[in-house]
Amino acid sequence: MCIRDRFYIVLVPDAIVTTALQDHLREISATLPAEMQRAARWVLANPAQVGLWSMRRQAQAVGVSPATMLRLARAAGHDSYEAFRAPFQRALAGASDASLRDRAARLQASHAGQAGGRGHDTLTQLQTAAMTSIWQANDEAAFDAAVAALLGARQVGFLGTRSAFGIAFQMRYAYHLLRRNGILIDGLGGASAEDADSLQEGDALVMISQAPYPAATVRLTRQIAARGVTVLALTDSATNPVAQAAGHVLRFTRPDDSAAEDNGPEAPAQRGPGSFFHSTAGLLGLAEHLIARLAARGGDAVLQRLADIETRLQADGAYWREPTRRRRVAP
């Protein structure tokens, strides 16, 4: 590929870039030595693996030497294999809106033939990055302001739908250990709006959501905010549709699950998705941080509430304990 063609690749959208490179490979394939032809056919048939796998691993899959893969890249007009596969990586990175099936296909491609738990490590890295971002994206003043809003509210509602429902449930449960005035907007029987009717001016709503944002969450949050309810958003962006209705926004940063991981020639060229489904680790981290902050700022009322709760739980035998075995008395 000539210099003019290489500028063309940089200037057009990634999907077209990849197509242009693939078309060029088809054009030059017949002029290449047999091993390079085999490598070119493999690249054309496996674009996801080109973006996800290291050059050495691709060479093993093709059955050629890494040097053959590098010669193929140079024949296509690139100085290095990294430059050759960059369009494939960018195409994968642009697939954040891909369907669940497409993400699962990428997941299978990234796991295929991997030794050990490297694929699981990717998910752990994404989860850890989301958790770590919480104190990078929010300062203590933001958490304290959110806590003050909760402590000053007559009633506090918790709203999370679809994948965020479990976190809303858990957060309301933990909140109930500290204060009596929490309600879960669970929408049983399709009655979410009716559940939320009790929230009025002077109350607060903790809204939990991340992309893709459920339409029901967006609509209900806006309706509740319009009644003068203070909205606290736990989310992944300060400008998304649900955060726009919030008076307080606590957020995490969603890691790029297609970000490159360059640990040398033996490492995968690209991590690929940690899972077919988005991780909710960031939302859970925000919820737990906020509840912990509330307990720290709740004073004697929180301490008394916890003591009462623990006394009742113990009296009710709420948690399993092994029965005490009686000692046999020797005759």
Domain boundaries, the chain: 3-94, 134-316
Task: Dig out the tokens for 306 from the structure.
Answer: 């916890």
Q: What is the DSSP string of 271-322?
A: ---S-SS---HHHHHHHHHHHHHHHHHSHHHHHHHHHHHHHHHHHHT-S--P
- At 58-74, the pLDDT tens digits run 999 999 999 999 999 99
**Looking at domain 3-94, does it have CATH number 3.30.1310.10?**
no
CATH architecture classification, 134-316: 3-Layer(aba) Sandwich (3.40)
pLDDT recorded at residue 303? 96
> Angle at the Cα of 173 (from 247 to 162), degrees rounded to 5?
65
pLDDT recorded at residue 256? 55
* Cis bond upstream, residue 241 (ω within 30): no
pLDDT recorded at residue 264? 37
pLDDT recorded at residue 3? 33
List the chain residues with pLDDT less than 70: 1-19, 90-98, 100, 103, 110-120, 188-193, 256-273, 329-331
**Burial class, 260, CB count within 10 angstroms (exposed 0-12 / middle 13-18 / buried 19+):** middle
- At 113-129, the pLDDT tens digits run 555 445 567 778 888 88
Cα 21 to Cα 257: distance, rounded to the nearest angstrom: 24
Q: Are 106 and 272 in contact (CB under 8 A)?
A: yes
Cα 252 to Cα 233: distance, rounded to the nearest angstrom: 11
pLDDT recorded at residue 7? 30
Q: Residue 282: name the closest of 168, 163, 133 by CA.
A: 133
pLDDT recorded at residue 309? 93
Q: Are 15 and 9 in contact (CB under 8 A)?
A: no
